[in-house]
A and B are shown apart, each in its own frame.
Chain A
């Protein structure tokens, strides 16, 4: 098998592979950087919780549209995810519960509700699709939605970059200078939910955060500056998508999980050999003079 057969032919021969690849590129560019910010805000698990919270909305969209239409499910998911994010924020401000505790309660409710709604009408196949995604079934309509979300994410991130960095680094300072931190926090949560909706069809509700958090963790092991981390994160997310698609094609594996496993392998390697990883810890380079 030539390198061409191995690396390029699958995409040349099949439209669904090309669309899947473009979807991976979009998700990588949008979700990768979002993951870095989530991790910097110590909200790694919050992304996971939010991705489950998207489910009941998507399920209701699915019931109304009657098929796996990404637009209907996306809209529903957006509403559900945002409601959970804002409600947990409200509850944590109004009661003694920390934000993670109220998040956990809300997303479990959401997940249960979502599975219940899907199983009410759909088949087990549909449930599987909702939970694990169907990246190879992405059509042009879905691709437009994903691309649109990525574009919005990149533009919005560029616009709110400074206040977002200030809010992550020193929220007290931003409050003191009247920088409207909560506003940017909500804008940021909105972007997270949007990106989760985008990855929803590709990777399903259970793994939607996969291309967000794994690349972000990898980026932290390699880069020392924020822009560096954002680039590494987007880059590894896309590499995982590409290699995962090829592997799933040749080895006849389910594509979504293969992509995530690829990212996991990158993560494992980074833990071993990354500049902030284990190898460097046990085999340190000689120290400098000053």
Chain B
């Protein structure tokens, strides 16, 4: 049996060749990976709380509390980076090439600065990962989040280099938008982790 007869009922050639926001296909792929990683963060937080519930003192006696200075600078810096990030998101929707180039460059510089602060933050956690389960859970959360900071920093840097050296098309506006959304995810994911790592042990 051959394929059945076709009846033309419309034409798609007038449709645009790109879109932005949730209309764009890649936006949904980005959401998919955020859901996966968000689930990972939630479960890691669950690990931290579960281990805390199995121990009479949290952190266990003798463990130093994680220091507040570098983590505070990191948290304030990260929150502040949302301002240019959201600006960049708006400019990418407005298809502003100049803002795309310099905005991604700015976000790269901010990302490098934040990664450096994070490096100092990791030196002041007060406990090694192999000291006890508390240290392991603490480092699990920090390593997971740091991986995300570094990954998005890398992505932003590459995007920026590409944007400065190439003619920008519609797809790149969507790329920058997805990258900005991902940075917002990295920022939002940090706030509960920050409270869990730095404040919950002080309240318990």
- State yes or no: do A and B come from one complex: no
